[in-house]
Structure 1
Amino acid sequence: MKNKCLFPLLLFIFSNYLYTQTCIKNVTIIDVEKQKLISNQTVIITDDLISNIHKSNNKILPKNATIIDGTGKYLIPGLIDTHIHFFQNGGLYTRPDAIDLRKFKDYNQEIAYANTDMETKLKRYVENGITTVIDVGANYHLLKQRNNFTDKPFSPSIFITGPLLTTYEPKVYEDLGENEPFILTKTIEDGINGVQKQLKYKPDFIKIWYIVGVDGLSIEESAHKNLPIIKAIINEAHKNNLKVAVHATQRITAQLAVENGADFLVHSIDDEILKDDFVKLLKKNKTILSPTLIVHNGYVNTFGQKLNISNYELLKADSHQLGSLLDLKHLSDTTLVKNYKNYANSQKSIENLKKTDSISLVNLKILSDAGVLIATGTDAGNIGTLHASSYLKELKAMRKSGMSNWKIIQASTLNGAKVFDKENEFGTVTIGKKANLVLLDANPIEDIENVTKINTVINKGVFIKPNTLIKDSPTDLAQRQLNAYNFRNIDAFLEPYADDVEIYSYPDKLLYRGKETMRKHYSKMFDKIPNLHCELKERIVQGNIVIDKERVQFGNKIIEAVAIYHIENNKIKRVYFIQ
């Protein structure tokens, strides 16, 4: 009898230790579904779920719960990037089919970097409030590797496909084994087999690269010629309960893909303004579209050496990949570099980019106003479109189209969840949904840039301060200030330095001390000296010391120099220059 009474008591006691509860009180919820602000709310999170939401008042909060004061803060669903590529790193050397620089850097190094950097990329996404990512073109190696991160609190939820099924494969990607990002499908049988090959890796969906015109036919002729293969792939994927995403940037390829069952269009249509019949087709089929507005600009501006990198990107991006984007300023193959620069800056290229951008923006507004589901995606990993940090740039481009901030936030949360019918699991701040949330210090409806003012990320129920996810290495700090130097951004340049930094002429002559003195010195340089560029020739790292051999251009003057950076407490404390 005593044991019978004891069991319920023990169950009650232990149940209090089997779950954790956190309460965010006095917070304003961004209701993306009803597009309204709900102020003075208490959100209770139990383990990885939102277990209750109620008006903040004198109501007793759960016992032993952690309490977070959300006064003056805004709670949004975790952001979703519906178009990324883990096999691409975002730097200059990541797409040898777009610009072949393999004589400067072995492409196998890029592959190795992508394979070893996946964890850091994932942390970078969560750091930026992105709690779900969709990789719309990976490879078998990455498909297997994603399983290592399924339950990790630092990792966003990952939806991923395998190699792209395509009727055209650039030769540089052939014979890469598990790292090959394409499956060439020249026949219907190839298409069906391409789907079946992926099944054992358990992809979340299938992706088609619907490339037309490379066969010498017109766009429309090529699209119809390849349509039987496209249709066979879609049918085989659906037969295996897998949705299909399609790369189709022309109206005809997009229309044919949707008519034949495509679930998700992963780019804007940029060759013509959309007519009502196409809009109705998307609505009827409930097709979701990810506009990826910025990716083309990333290529053109990199090749044209006219990149405009924001302070936010300089601070948040992979500094080494970002730095590589400026390598065209000093690569030794001047003919190749000149040809790419001339092409990117030609009147024809400028007009073409302006035209496609304009069409994409107009089409996005047409589709959004008509009620077609738009889901935010960056195409991150491509040259000039950096993982995670490029998300803000995409949101601003969507705003430029005329979309309201409400619709942009909805596209970046709820609509992204709908890609795989997960809207009942996440995408809104709702009782019973997963606690994938972002606590912001400012209202993103007032200013879309406020999505970067992150106080806390709640990922899989775990509360994470963004600055705790990725620890800067000494080389990260050295590279970040070098990037900002080359972009003449004084605030980003000074960020890695300690407030009481000391600058020396080697070995021991103190030139000046303090970040503010440094600001005056370098601000004048950034403002007045033309052709300012620092090329990193060699880097040696010894513990907390980074030694950079540099080739520095000041106007028409070039000097060879060595900079020795001493890092203390995660800041550059002392710098020694040798000239």
Structure 2
Amino acid sequence: MRNKLLFTVLFLVFAYPLFAQTYITNVTIADVEKQKLVPNQTVLITRDLISKIQSGKVKIPEDAVVIDGKGKYLLPGLTDAHVHFFQNGGLYTRPDVINLRSEVPYEKEMKLAHQTMEDKLKRYLQNGITNVIDVGASYSYLKQREAFKNKDNVPSIYMTGPLLTTYEPKAYENLKDEAPFSLVKTVDDGIKMVQEQLPYHPDFIKIWYIVGADGLETEASARKNLPIIKSIIDEAHRNNLKVAVHATERITAQLAVENGCDFLVHSVDDEIVKDDFVQLLKKNKTILCPTLEVFNGYENTLGQKLKISDHELQTADPFQLGTLLDLRHLSDTVLVNKYKAHMNSEKEVARMTKVNTISSENLKKLSDAGVLIATGTDAGNIGTLHASSYLNEVIAMQKSGMSNWKIIQASTINGAKILNKENEFGTVSVGKKANLILLDANPVDTIENLSKIDRVINNGVVFNPESIIEETPLALVQRQLNAYNLRNIEAFLEPYAEDVEIYTYPDKLTGKGKAQMRKNYAAMFEKVPNLHCELLGRIVQGNIVIDKERVQFGKEIVEAVAIYHIENNKIKKVYFVD
């Protein structure tokens, strides 16, 4: 036995150089724990681990992969600590919020969420996010995540089962394995439903602590349901599972933490928290995920006041982004106008302004006091698109007054701490997973630089972010349609070739080159009111996409066909058929 052990050790010692090795040379490392930049470092990655970090001259084997990190910044991979894969982020994903099932049946939306899970995961990785935490899934997603284990081209997935809740929206009743909610009516129910999740191996348990649905005032409702909340927390802890709690009121958050909650997944938004609340979170080492932007996603989408960044237009799922603009042409104008009027009413605008102000002030106060903050988006909700919304969230955190270093900590090491994984990832350290991002610019100077990604390294495998998502003719055409409807000239032109040709079908050339397109379309975007293109039908044949469109120009509505020819991942020719 002793000889066998000795042989194994010797084998590992001599085999070590044979493993695939990657050197990142002359790079500046972000030490997220000490909040300092360490320049001129060489990082050695062996297989999927960081095996050495050193300064000065390094002898590099001839067969090693070498990445020149001069002028670049190496950070741990990011963590999105709050996502939902059962939601797509588009207009039709929450039938309990706005019922559009006559337009898109919810069964179709659920099926689409499963079909596009891999695409969502790849978009996270493309955005430098190497870990995602789904705080409210379903049994079907706990099963599906198994298909992504040990895959290098997707992030690591941590996931709860269905949300345990004392209130279940009717839209989600009787969905069986697809149900994102489990209704808990008694203490015994709470214990039983934790036990029911155990065979699916959730990474933790999630509670949706909703108050007021029973007709009681906030605190009375919270205290009435507290025994159930406590029973769930206690049973989870007995099974060595942490507990996340959705609690947006100060009283629900306080009661949850007092009774053992490990992870608060939203800001308190009904009042400015007092020092005793701050000290309670610090004492209990509770981690807070603020999710500052998610409610704005609903307000801006349903109020038809969307402002989509170039970053989102480029990196989001273009088809889900496109649905956010569908309210301009849906047939149920009474419903659409009702939501638009409500979201833009003086009362609602004042309410959201107050919620945003309180949430931001509370985040600043908690962060300054040393409460652990973890970055999370609540992606999947209407208007909060998977992966691309991360940048909006960190910008909102910065506007709240958090320093860039603290935001970087919240996005890396603190995300690892949620599930006690800080010894596995979250810093650039020897022995930790080689889940890293190489940036072209310093995020300590400007937090937006987190999106300037040169390379993503996941499980030791190096990716060019542009190669993670395969470009398709269909995606190119959808991206330019989205940008058209948002009147964003730069994003509109991005999918086109520099020498693009525009024809009136069949062969009359009416324009050539981006410069001419820019001149024509920029003027139209600036001057034409009520500009909107509705997609009526689409055919994809190889590198050709044919769209049937209904286009509104002010009071005029015309129907046309556009035929897009794609070459070398750009739209090279467009034929318009009147």
Q: Tell me if both proteins adopt one fold, taking TM over 0.5 as the criterion.
A: yes
Q: Deviations over 1:408-444 (max 9, x none)?
A: 0010001111001111111111111111100000000
CA distance in 1, matches of 2:138, 2:13: 48
- Pair 1:332 & 2:331 matched: yes
Q: Which amino acid counterpart does residue 408 of structure 2 have in structure 1? A: I
Q: Does 1:48 align with 2:17?
A: no
1:280 is aligned to 2:279? yes
Q: Shift in Å at residue 63 of structure 1? A: 5.4
Of all paired residues, the percent bearing the same amino acid is: 69
Distance 1:17 1:249, change over 3 A: same
CA-CA distance at 1:59 after TM superposition: 3.1
Offset, 1:543: 1.8
Aligned residue in 1 for 2:171: 172
Q: CA deviation at 1:161?
A: 0.5
Deviates more, 1:355-364 or 1:555-564: 555-564
1:537, distance to aligned residue in structure 2 (A): 1.1
SS at match of 1:339: helix
SS in structure 2 at match of 1:540: strand
Alignment of 1:116 onto 2:111: no
> Which residue is 1:261 aligned to?
260
Question: Which residue of 1 is the match for residue 227 of structure 2?
Answer: 228
2:34 equivalent in structure 1: 34
In structure 2, stretches of 5+ residues that fail to align are 1-6
AA partner of residue 485 (structure 2): N
Q: What secondary structure, in the 3-state scheme, does the structure 1 residue paired with 2:308 have? A: coil
Structure 1 ranges of 4+ moved more than 3 A:
10-14
TM-aligned CA distance change 1:431 to 1:552, over 3 Å: same
- The residue that corresponds to 2:292 in the other structure is 293
Does 1:551 pair with 2:568? no
Partners of 1:12 and 1:262 in 2: how far apart?
A: 43
The alpha-carbon deviation at position 354 of structure 1 amounts to 0.1
Give the partner amino acid of 1:211. Answer: I
1:18 Cα offset (Å):
4.8
3-state SS of the aligned residue for 1:200?
Answer: helix
Q: 1:352-381 CA distances to partner (integer Å, 9 max, x unpaired)? A: 000000000000000000000000000000
Distance in 2 between the 1:232 and 1:503 partners?
A: 66
Per the alignment, residue 3 of structure 1 pairs with none
SS in 2 for 1:435: coil
State the one-letter code of the partner of 2:139.
Y
Q: Take 1:287 and 1:391, find their aligned partners in 2: how far apart are those partners?
A: 22
Equivalent-residue separation in structure 2 for 1:39 and 1:270 (angstroms): 41
2:308 is aligned to 309
Secondary structure class of the residue paired with 2:409: helix
Distance 1:63 1:377 in 2: 41
Aligned to 2:4: none
CA distance in 2: counterparts of 1:486 and 1:321, whole angstroms: 14
Distance (whole Å) between structure 2 residues aligned to residue 228 and residue 284 of structure 1? 22
> Within 5 Å, which residues of 2 pair with 1:206-225?
206-225=205-224
SS of match in other structure, 2:320: helix
Shift of 1:15: 1.6
Match of 1:160 in 2: 159
Matches within 5 A, 1:55-454: 55=55, 57-62=56-61, 64-454=63-453
Instruction: Give the residue type in structure 1 aligned to 2:20.
Output: T
Q: Alpha-carbon deviations, 1:297-319, whole Å to 9, x = none?
A: 00011011001100000000000
- Quote the Cα distance in structure 2 between the aligned partners of 1:561 and 1:46: 56
Compute the displacement of 1:14 (Å).
7.5
The aligned amino acid for 2:571 is I
- Cα distance in 1 for residues equivalent to 2:571 and 2:17: 44
Q: What is the letter of the counterpart of residue 481 of structure 2?
A: L
Q: Residue in 2 aligned with 1:4?
A: none
Q: Is the 8 A contact 2:90 2:381 kept in 1?
A: yes
Contact 2:42/2:58 (8 A) holds in 1: no
Point out the more displaced range, 564-573 or 121-130.
564-573
Distance in 2, Cα, partners of 1:382 & 1:286: 28
Opposite residue 45 of structure 2, the aligned amino acid is I
SS in structure 1 at match of 2:200: coil
For 1:483 and 1:60, the matched residues in 2 are separated by 50
Q: Which residue of 1 aligns with 2:540?
A: 541
> 1:382-419 CA distances to partner (integer Å, 9 max, x unpaired)?
00000000000000000110001111001000111100
Distance 2:260 2:458 in 1: 33
Q: Is the 8 A contact 2:440 2:453 kept in 1?
A: yes
Q: Deviations over 1:203-240 (max 9, x none)?
A: 00000000000110000000000000000000010011
Q: Which amino acid aligns with 1:513?
A: K
- Normalised by the length of structure 2, the TM-score is 0.97
CA-CA distance at 1:148 after TM superposition: 0.8
Q: Match of 1:25, SS?
A: strand
Is structure 2 residue 488 aligned with structure 1 residue 489?
yes
Q: Give distance in 1, aligned partners of 2:12 and 2:213.
A: 68
Give 1:65 shift: 1.9
Q: For residues 155 and 384 of structure 2, what CA distance do their matches in structure 1 show?
A: 19
User: Displacement of 1:513 after TM fit?
Assistant: 1.2
Q: CA separation in 1, counterparts of 2:110 and 2:21? A: 42
* Cα distance in 1 between the residues matched to 2:51 and 2:472: 39
Distance of 1:423 and 1:284 partners within structure 2: 19
Instruction: Give me the whole-angstrom Cα distance separating, in 2, the residues matched to 1:40 and 1:202.
Output: 43
Provide, for residues 5-40 of structure 1, a one-character-per-residue CA deviation record: whole Å limited to 9, x for no partner.
Answer: xx99x9589825751111101000111111111111
The count of corresponding residues between Structure 1 and Structure 2 is 571
* Alpha-carbon distance, 1:61 to partner: 2.8
Partner in structure 2 of residue 574 of structure 1: 573
C-alpha displacement of 1:332: 0.7
For the residues of structure 2 that align with 1:351 and 1:415, how far apart are their CA atoms?
33
1:175-220 deviation digits (Å, cap 9, x = unpaired) = 1111110000011111111111110000000000000001100000
CA shift for structure 1 position 73 = 0.3
Residue 450 of structure 1 and its aligned partner are, at CA, apart by 0.5
The separation in 1 between residues aligned to 2:539 and 2:195, in whole angstroms, is: 48
1:124 and 1:516 map into 2 onto residues whose CA distance is 31
Counterpart CA distance in 2 for 1:499 and 1:347 is: 45
C-alpha deviation, 1:344, in angstroms:
0.2
One-letter identity of the residue aligned with 1:304: G
The answer to whether residue 477 in structure 2 is matched with residue 478 in structure 1 is yes
CA deviation string 1:49-86 (max 9, x = no partner)? 1111111x233234532111100000011000000000
**2:564 corresponds to which residue?**
565
1:472 offset after TM fit, Å?
A: 2.1
Contact 2:159 2:202 in 1 (8 A): yes
Q: Aligned equivalents of 1:13 and 1:90: distance in 2?
A: 49
**Partner in structure 1 of residue 3 of structure 2:** none
> Are the structure 2 counterparts of residues 192 and 517 from structure 1 closer, same or farther at C-alpha, using a change threshold of 3 Å?
same
Greater CA drift, 220-229 or 60-69? 60-69
Q: Once structures 1 and 2 are overlaid, which stretch shifts more, 201-210 or 519-528?
A: 519-528
Residue aligning to 2:529: 530
Matched-pair contact (CA < 8 Å) for 2:125–2:456: yes
Structure 2 CA distance for aligned equivalents of residues 327 and 193 of structure 1: 42
The offset of 1:259, in angstroms, is: 0.3
Q: Hey, what's the Cα distance between the residues in 1 that align with 2:60 and 2:465?
A: 27
1:54 maps to a residue whose letter is: Q
Q: Normalising by structure 1, what TM-score?
A: 0.97
User: In the TM superposition, what is the alpha-carbon distance from 1:566 to its structure 2 partner?
Assistant: 1.0
